[in-house]
Structure 1
Amino acid sequence: MGNVESDDEGLWSRSLKGESEAFRVLYARHRDRVFRHAYRLSGDRHDAEDIMATAFLELWRCRAKVRIVEGSVLPWLLVTTTNAARNSGRAALRYRRLLASLPRADETERAGQDFYRTAQDVLDQDLARALGTLNAGDVHLVSLIVFEEYTIAAAAAVLNLTPGAAKTRMHRARQRMRNALQRSQPSPVSTTPVLEGERS
């Protein structure tokens, strides 16, 4: 198979020269993490697949603006995924409003669908709602630090913040998410593990 490049810079440089195989390797390397991030934000697998596809499309469409951080395109992809998820969420809201204005579907069918929704789906949607209480910049910050385990310094570099400002915003964002998760889960469920992972 030859040498597999350990960071993305070489692969990205080759992609920019038109080597489709290099872009395919980047896609294979990061698609799972981008999908998980999209799923965290949307709480829906089908939406997450669409959001992931949009993020990689934007990676190529905006290739002149892509920033490599610590040898990786992943931070740029994660920020783009957050933006795509927000756009998708707004479109879904418009769609739900349209459906609400139409005559009601059979309530028994809807009750059956709710019955089969798993506990994991509920938790995923609670997390997506908690992330939805944050502004776009703070969602980017939480995603990079908590979910993807980047350092505060690396996340700050991606988002054009000072490390001190990133740390302050991270503290406030974690508090808002904790409050939102506690409101959505009246049972005594610990929310601390979801929000752990901040690294200096």
Structure 2
Amino acid sequence: MEKATKPSGTDRIVKGLLIAAACLGLSGCISLGGKAPEELFRLTAEETAPAGAAVSGQLADAIVVLDPDADRSLDVLRVPVRVDASRLAYLKNAAWIEKPTRQFRSLLAETIRARTGKLVVEGGDYEVTGKTVIGGRLLRLGYDAQKRAVVVSFDAVRTDGIDGSQIATKRFEAVVNDVVPKAEAVGPALNAAANDVARQVSDWLAGESPK
């Protein structure tokens, strides 16, 4: 008779996450009249423009930050967990206070405003007249169970010129390692990684032309 082997630490984490995913699928983590999640996540900019700072100028010279696109796993209030290459779960007892794509846009805009001192506006109303438009696709904003890490990955698309004649793309990513799969640890790590990506994008935009 073969001797039973103990499950590894990764196996136990994955099993726990799958159980959490099953529970979410049955009862729902966020629903009217349901039990509220224990942790609500919010992305906040670590670098902000000082109080009273005013920037004025022509709208045509502004940097316009658009909502990033994302697949359905990020277009919800639950926090995704990548179990492996083909399976996703959701973090137990946690949810976003607002859809993460909208939060990432606001964080990115504030970081660019603070680091460049330029006129920055949000949303799609100004995309035709803005001199520089930054959009793209948010690929990952969640927890990786196999790596025990938080990962934020963003494919940025930058267009310059009123007619959008110049375009450039670049992928930015930030990883925070050694994060336990608990809401109180994942939340701050997600915020740190998102700010890291926002700083990278801001530094990319600081150049005189797309690179």
| TM-score, normalised relative to structure 2 | 0.25
Q: Which has the higher contact order (CA 8 A, sep 6+)?
A: 2
Give the strand-richer structure, 1 or 2.
2
| TM-score, normalised relative to structure 1 | 0.26
Give the helix-richer structure, 1 or 2.
1
